Structures are given as C-alpha cells and as structure tokens.
Amino acid sequence: MINLNTIRRNPKRFVKQSKTWFGSRGLLLYVLPFFLVLATIKAFVHGNLSGIIVNVGGYAAFLLAAQILRRGLQAENVYREKRVARAPKWPLKTLAAGIVALTTFAIAWLGAHHTFLVSIAFGGGALLGMALSYGFDPRAQKTVAGAHGYTIEEISTTIEAAENAILSIENANNKITNREFNTRIDRICETARHIVDEMEANPGTIRRARKFLLVYLDGANKVTNGYANTHLQADAIELEQNFRNVLDNIETVFKEQKDKLLEEDLFDLDVQIEVLAKQLQHEGIV
C-alpha cells in the first residue's frame, strides 16, 4: 500500500520511482507470444503432443526472456542516471535477445516445420528486432575527470553506501508520526544528497567526504531507525526531547560539512563524531 505521507514529504522521489515501476519498455515481449497459447490449444485438440511441448516451452521461454529483459532495462536505467557508475554486472538484455532468437528458431523449425535455413532466418530476424528495439547492455564504466587516484569501484561503492543509508533514513522517517521530526529528517536527507551529488560530480571530494558519508551518515541512520523502532514503546515525552536534541546536532553538522565541502575545505569530523556517539549513548537513542 502507498503511504500518502511519503508522497507528501517526498513527491519527487515518489514520481521517479513510479516511472521506474510502471515503465512500458519490454512489456510487449509478454504480449507477442500469445499466439503460442492459441497454437497450444490447437495442438491439444488434435492430440499433437510434440506441438504442445514446443508451444508451451516456447511460451515459457518468451516469458523468461521478457522478465530478464525488464531487469536489464532497469539496470540500464540506474546506470544512465548516475554520473559515476560501473557497467551492469550481467548483460541481461543481450541474454534476453539470445533467448528470443533461439526460441523463435526452435518454434519455426520444430513447431512450424520450416527448413533449417529458413528457421535460422527467423531467429536472426528476432535477434535483429531485439537489438533495434532495446539495444544491448552498456559495458563501459562511467567516470568523470578528477578522480585523484580513486577507482570506479571505490567511487561507486562509496556513493552506493551513502545512497542506501539515506534511503534507510527515509524509510525510518515514514514510520515516525511527528511532523516536526519528519520535516527535519527530510532536510537532513536533502543535505546528505547534496553532498553525494557533489562527490559524484567531482570525485576528488571523496578524500574529504568519504569519512563523513560512511561514518557520520551511518550514525544518523542508526539514530533515526532507533527512534522509529522504539518511540511507540518508550516514554514518549523524554524520548522525543532526546531525539530532538540529537537532530539539532545532526542537522547542524550536516549543514556545516556541506558548506565546508563546497568551500573545498578539509572535513574535521573526528571530534564531532565522538561527541555525537557519546550523545547517542547517553540519551539512549541507540
């Protein structure tokens, strides 16, 4: 079920997810093999066991190819949205095209009883159609100038870890019913995303931002999830005030670190992280 509070607090993120979920690319492959259902019924009526096997197997193969294609398109979409990214691990679109080509060949040869060469032509046509309709998988790594010795793997891993932490904070925020806290946590996530965007556009900032994102952002993630999981069970007034104090600290430091990053100044996090950790333990948030 869709959480309406999530839509109100994160309208842009919700629209982006909706487009990804309900994108129409690749759905045609689920519809095209419907003729095999009719062919299966015809084979069943005539008692043609081999025809039933070929048609049912072909239909299942087309559905498998459609599912693989959709996953490949999703992976490609994620790849294209990022400025720094690894190529998709598996060539899913290419695999789907291969399955469609082989299945088309098999149906033409074993089901429709065309000659071997004609069946190959059908398979080749199906492969060409897949290539023209969906293309093949991106294989090149995406990077930008100024990586300062960091590999694509290091940059991508750092950014993905930060994005996962931000998403975890947002999911925890959806469980919190205090509108003041919702708004403040949204601001914290927005600031963190600005830092991630800056690091993605200029990987040279990883030297300054990596510790902040992987240590301090992790602390914000833990404290938000800790409050979300306990605020309905504990002393609400005391816990709310403790959490409010922690949010004061987190929000201030996030803004300071964003400003320092934009000023190309070194992050000075050690003392602040230690203070935050002690505060979280003292106030029993985590």
Q: What is the pLDDT, as a whole number, of residue 159?
A: 83
Residue at 164: amino acid letter: N
Q: What is the pLDDT, as a whole number, of residue 234?
A: 58
Burial state string for 86-125 with b = 16 or more CB within 10 A and e = fewer than 16: bbbeebbbbbbbbbbbebbbbbbbbbeebeeeebbebbee
CA dist., res. 77 & res. 73, Å (int):
6
Residue at 16: amino acid letter: K
CA dist., res. 265 & res. 257, Å (int):
9
Residues, the chain, total?
Answer: 286
Q: Which residue has the tokens 């007034």?
A: 237
Residue at 133: amino acid letter: S
Q: Are 143 and 153 in contact (CB under 8 A)?
A: no
Q: What is the pLDDT, as a whole number, of residue 158?
A: 81
Q: What is the pLDDT, as a whole number, of residue 237?
A: 74
DSSP string computed for 256-275: HHHHHHHTTPPP--HHHHHH
φ, ψ for residue 153, nearest 5 deg: -60, -45
Q: What is the pLDDT, as a whole number, of residue 20?
A: 47
Q: Are 193 and 230 in contact (CB under 8 A)?
A: no
| Series of mean pLDDT values for 10-residue runs along the chain (286 residues) | 44 44 74 91 91 94 96 88 78 96 96 94 96 88 60 78 91 91 93 83 69 77 87 71 86 78 51 55 55
Each domain of the chain, given as residue ranges in start order, spans 20-134, 152-282
Helix ranges (DSSP H) in 1-48 = 4-9, 11-21, 28-31, 35-45
CA dist., res. 216 & res. 223, Å (int):
11
